[in-house]
Amino acid sequence: MVRLLGEFFAVRMRKWLPDSLSFAIILTFVAMVMALIITKTPPLALLGHWYKGFWLFLSFSMQMALIVVLGYALGTSPILRKFFDWLSKKVKTPTGVYITVLIVGGAASYLYWGFLVAVAVLAMEMARRVKGVDYRFLGGCVYAALMPTVFGISITAPLLMNTPNNAFIKMGAIDRTVPPSETIFSSYSLITLAVTCVVILVTMYLMRPKKADPAWDIAERIEKGEIVVEDTKDSERIDRTKLSPAEKVDSSVILTIFTCICGFVYIVYFFWTKGTAGIDLDSINFTFFIFGLAFWGRPTLFARAIIEAVRGVASIIIQFPLYAGIMGIFMYSGISKVIATWIVSIATPVTFPWFALVTAAVLNMFIPSAGGEWMVIGPTLLEAGKTLGYPVGKLIMAYSYGDMLTNLIQPFWSLIFIPVLAKMANVRARDIMGYTAVLCIVWFVVLSVLVVVL
């Protein structure tokens, strides 16, 4: 039943879901129409909101581009390729590959969602070594592995609400910080995490294809010569006797040793003093850079890997401004607050967390940034929760669940790992999102029960 449902959605998503760039443009149009109708925003003012928001993600776009490039370079380094070879000998079946990616990916995402790009490299490397793996479904597993992020130590709303003198305290929406014991480490969250892990594994296991489509069996196509994988072993050997003085400098391990010693010292110091609170995009990118350079050994080899990876980040560069523009429309026109007010106005103390979840899920389609969305609708939800007497920690988590829920049918976050998977085959968001759509439906049903009952 679940497998048939997965195939049904997969076929229709591939047929009807536009390319991710077209999807972003369509959402922009829908957001503009909503602003004109709901908030009566004048057309020129609306275009101003769009333009003002267009540049909100500039630094974020660079961070995302770097995490894709550096994650790919690190994952394809000689040391990790040897690890993938070893792992593929242990995991010999397609089902084993799917489960491995889900478990390893889920654990990594729980620590930090940015590790998803490394999970994509793991999936790509295992797919080229194990026959019978359906590459499209494997991409769905990579995306599904993102879900535990919402329970982890890097989720935005709980971290922000635990920050002293945060924006919500300043605006009077709340009079104290909300510690992790009330959010991600609460029994409410831990029970939901356990149930969610079961939902992910069981749903994806039941949905796995009986047999891989030959066009998407990467290992089989490599064996037949239909896909040519460059052997980088020869390029890793450098005959220094034939190099010019400049080329000898480029390939010098002394440069690597100096840079990596400095980098490793600071990484240890940074995380020793800051702990898990220091995990963010900047620290992860810096760590990926230092380890990538160390694992490749020579600057020139690392540079080649970077050049190879850069070709895959075009989608991030061009699409993030569009989503930032949509966020600008929702933020500056006031649509988000209007929608949130409508929904919570009909809630009761029992149904309120469900309505908070649905509000976050709907708005996430237009503002796929958990932090940005929380800044827009958080004050409205907090005020409603205070009126209804609902625990603030549970409200924050219910919002976070809704925000993550529709990520499974919103191609925005696929941009961080699709470029990696596309290195091996021309996989697109539409190829994987039929499977994640089924997971979205199942998880929504489960969450609907949990947020009301717990």
pLDDT tens digit sequence for 302-343: 998 888 778 767 777 888 888 888 888 888 888 877 877 787
The band of 57, judged by pLDDT with boundaries at 50, 70 and 90, is confident
Residue 150 CA from chain centroid, whole number: 11
Domain ranges within the chain, ordered by starting residue = 2-224+246-453
Greater model confidence, 85 or 269: 269
Q: What letters, b where the CB count within 10 A reaches 16 and e where it falls short, cover 386-415?
A: eebebebbbbbbbbbbbbbbbbbbbbbbbb
Conformation bin of residue 208: beta by default, left when phi > 0, alpha when psi is -120 to 50: beta
The band of 230, judged by pLDDT with boundaries at 50, 70 and 90, is low
The band of 132, judged by pLDDT with boundaries at 50, 70 and 90, is very high
Answer whether 413's CB lies under 8 Å from 440's CB. Answer: no
pLDDT, one tens digit per residue, over 275-294 is: 866 767 788 889 989 999 99
Q: What pLDDT shows up at residue 233? A: 54
Highest mean pLDDT (candidates 44-53, 156-165, 340-349) = 44-53
Chain position carrying tokens 């529709």: 406
- Among 70-74, 189-193, 215-219, 391-395, the range scoring the smallest mean pLDDT is 70-74
Greater model confidence, 403 or 67: 403
Residue 167, CA distances (Å) to 370, 371, 379, 390 in order: 15, 12, 10, 21
Phi, psi of 54 (to 5 degrees): -55, -30
Distance, CA of 144 to CA of 201 (rounded, Å): 9
Q: What pLDDT shows up at residue 398? A: 95
Q: Is the pLDDT of residue 21 over 90?
A: no
The band of 231, judged by pLDDT with boundaries at 50, 70 and 90, is low
Tokens of 269: 């110091």
Beta strands in 239-328 (DSSP E): none
Chain position carrying tokens 């080229």: 128
Q: What pLDDT shows up at residue 161? A: 85
The band of 238, judged by pLDDT with boundaries at 50, 70 and 90, is low
pLDDT, one tens digit per residue, over 374-405 is: 877 888 888 888 888 899 999 999 999 999 99
Q: Is the pLDDT of residue 13 over 90?
A: no
What is the mean pLDDT of the segment spanning 10-31? Answer: 84
Highest mean pLDDT (candidates 185-199, 217-231, 245-259) = 185-199
Give Cβ neighbours of residue 365 (< 8 Å, ≥ 6 apart). Answer: 27, 406, 409, 410
The band of 211, judged by pLDDT with boundaries at 50, 70 and 90, is confident
Q: Is the pLDDT of residue 236 over 60?
A: no
